[in-house]
Structure 1
Amino acid sequence: MNDSRLTLMMACVAGLTMTAQVHAYAPGNKVECIAPSTPGGGWDFTCRSVGEVLSDLDLVPRSVQTINMPGASGAVGFSHVLSKRQGDNSLLVATSTATASQLALGRYPGSEEDVTWIRALGSDYGVIAVSSDSEYDSLQQLMDAMVDNPKSVTFTGGSGVGGWDHLKVLLLAREAGVEPLNQITWLASTGGGSSITQIMGGHVVAYSGDLTEAAGFLESGDLKVLAVLAPERLEGEYADIPTASEQGYDVTGANWRGFYMPGDISDEARQYWIDAMDTLYVSEEWQQRMVDSGLMKFHLSGDEFTAFVSDQVRIMRELSAEIGLLEQ
């Protein structure tokens, strides 16, 4: 190779390096986080607590501004992102399993492919529980009763028909061979607490919700948790609760929390925020926040998280169609 060609190649490499440096993303002074809920809710907590830790770890130059945008179980916020904020490299949006369930039901404009999925930062795990004096002492007993007669066990939880609490029951029932799924009785309530009150009053047989909602009633002895829908037994005070998997039902029900960003953000921005959230997740500050808020370990990021959400939406859509909420 002659000197002139070598010089030209070196110049091109140097130019590409400088271009990459010029276009490398760094967050500006205005990083925003949309919480598609009112102040005090789970999405609001996600925005505010993560924003504080991002600032504490110097991963953003200034504090993250939380914007509450409630409406239609997150649809208002999702629509705003699609119509007004596409390509915004400095906009985070709090998300959770509820987002996936609403996407599956077609209640958001667009689809999960229209936004950029960044990371999950923890989870609350689902539980199936009954009153402490219930005749059912195991998940298998409960499922066997439903196999014999799908209408024999009435369930309740804080979501409506087709919501995540309901879908967790359907996932278990399908795994157990209950047919038809649309014969299972689901009575929605205004929240986890009121659902558990129905159980304690003997009006409903079983509860599907999250462990953090049930924890106080479990400690008081009012509830009996038949299974936690975690991939393996939890640590600490809940280590005695068997998983559904170890009882023969390969079902995981994580109410995860995380973030998506607008579609069409730059590759550099996407990678920056994935790396930033990865750094945040392993930090002592975030690990303590998880303990304080009752969140448990759940870590998926980047392409793995994107594939997980896509698969979850697909499964939820299939179940919703099977019980008649969507066309097959």
Structure 2
Amino acid sequence: MRATSKRKLRSLVAACAVLTLAVPLLGWSPTLAQGAQPPKSVRIMAPASPGGGWDQTARFTQTVLREEGIVPGTVEVFNVPGAGGTIGLARLASTERGSGDLLMITGLVMVGAILTNQSAVTLAQTTPIARLTAEYEVIAVPANSPFQTLDDLIDAFRANPGAISWAGGSAGGVDHILVGLLAKEAGVDPDQINYIPFSGGGEALAAILGGHVSAGVTGYGEWAGQIEAGALRALAVSSAERIEGVDVPTLMEQGIELEIANWRGVVAPPGISAQARASLVAALDRMHATKRWQQILADHNWNDFYLSGDAFAKYLTAENERVEGVLREIGLVH
């Protein structure tokens, strides 16, 4: 790959996502939640089908809030799948407006889906609460796939782009962005990508295990069990260096100058009171401080990427601008 192309691709990735994963603690101030008490009960919306990263994040959040006694009452999780989370987002901003007991999982996937689906509702219409995790992507194929290596897959992709089908999350999300960047690396027109979006990681996993697609892309933690069991063959991870305890080569060590990670967080409905916002921030601050939450991060190879309150709100604004630029560059938004 020419040096100018490498520089351009690095610039794209740097604009896109979380590339160093260093938590900017110096910019984080929990003043909003100081003195606030967590709410008595909480509902958590996973705006995707069961089995994916948003659903996992919602249910682990439920576990810690409940078992650590942070929220003394009911902690309920429910799913509202569809359109990269924008169906759940629309519900949050309309029928749930003013509901101070509700959290919705969000992340880089939703930022992209809002743009590609031309959603009438955006994250600017929510109440930002906290950014939680960041996770590197994995590219995997079924165990019986003819593609033994990433080079095998890329060569076939380059030779006949439409014949290689990619399963991943919703259109415009981090999975789709990664495939788009791979296409640019391979010299393939992004418009020729045969990308099949699914509303949850469980559905994408079923498609790849059933041999209905050539390859799949998702956060490593979602398919770690199937990879370790040998049902899937992991060809690459999107980290700069190998993930500790994960015997999968990176894209970069295989000659692809690309690093990208997905982040996840939580927002609340618009129109909630300052007291309700402070209570929700306090609950997440306390969750983040527990040993149980830190163990969950370690167990699922999730990076601690915590940021709450006003600092997270500023991050969301900047992230929307970065992602829109990348989606335009790789042809996913026109």
Structure 1 position 169, deviation (Å):
0.8
Q: Distance in 2 between matches of 1:242 and 1:295?
A: 15
Contact 1:31 1:91 (C-alpha < 8 Å) held by counterparts: yes
Q: Give deviations 1:189-209, integer Å, cap 9, x for gaps.
A: 74223224428xxx73x4323
Among 138, 149, 155, the alignment partner of 1:137 is 149
Contact 1:172 1:249 (C-alpha < 8 Å) held by counterparts: no
Tell me which residue corresponds to 1:6: none
Structure 1 position 227, deviation (Å):
1.5
Among 279, 295, 303, the alignment partner of 2:286 is 279
Tell me which residue corresponds to 1:54: 65
- Consecutive unaligned residues in structure 1, runs of 5 or more: 1-19
Contact 1:196 1:207 (C-alpha < 8 Å) held by counterparts: no
Q: Distance in 2 between matches of 1:46 and 1:214?
A: 14
Q: Distance in 2 between matches of 1:160 and 1:271?
A: 31
Q: Give deviations 1:246-304, integer Å, cap 9, x for gaps.
A: 444232132x4431112354556545534532331241222334456x35223131355
Larger RCO of the pair (alpha carbons < 8 Å, separation 6+): 2
Percent of pairs identical after alignment?
Answer: 30
Aligned residues between the structures: 296
Aligned pairs for 1:258-273 within 5 A? 258-266=265-273, 269-273=276-280
Structure 1 position 170, deviation (Å):
0.8
Q: Distance in 2 between matches of 1:223 and 1:67?
A: 29
Q: Distance in 2 between matches of 1:299 and 1:184?
A: 31
Q: TM-score, normalised by structure 2?
A: 0.69
Q: Distance in 2 between matches of 1:66 and 1:152?
A: 38
**287 and 36 in structure 1: CA distance in 2 versus 1, 3 angstrom threshold:** same
Contact 1:172 1:251 (C-alpha < 8 Å) held by counterparts: no
Aligned pairs for 1:86-101 within 5 A? 86-101=97-112
Give SS of 2:211's match: helix
Tell me which residue corresponds to 1:251: 259
Aligned pairs for 1:92-131 within 5 A? 92-106=103-117, 108-130=119-141
Contact 1:170 1:319 (C-alpha < 8 Å) held by counterparts: no
The answer to whether structure 1 residue 195 and structure 2 residue 208 are counterparts is yes
**89 and 324 in structure 1: CA distance in 2 versus 1, 3 angstrom threshold:** same
Q: Distance in 2 between matches of 1:30 and 1:135?
A: 49
Among 151, 154, 163, the alignment partner of 2:161 is 151
Q: Give deviations 1:220-252, integer Å, cap 9, x for gaps.
A: 54544232123542222x1x3222244442321
Tell me which residue corresponds to 1:227: 236
Give SS of 1:129's match: strand
Q: TM-score, normalised by structure 1?
A: 0.70
Structure 1 position 44, deviation (Å):
4.7
RMSD between aligned residues: 3.9
Contact 1:128 1:228 (C-alpha < 8 Å) held by counterparts: yes
Q: Distance in 2 between matches of 1:226 and 1:25?
A: 46
Q: Distance in 2 between matches of 1:318 and 1:260?
A: 23
Contact 2:142 2:208 (C-alpha < 8 Å) held by counterparts: no
Q: Give deviations 1:24-65, integer Å, cap 9, x for gaps.
A: 643443433333356666545444432342244343342334
Tell me which residue corresponds to 1:173: 183
Among 49, 57, 78, the alignment partner of 2:89 is 78
Larger Rg: 1
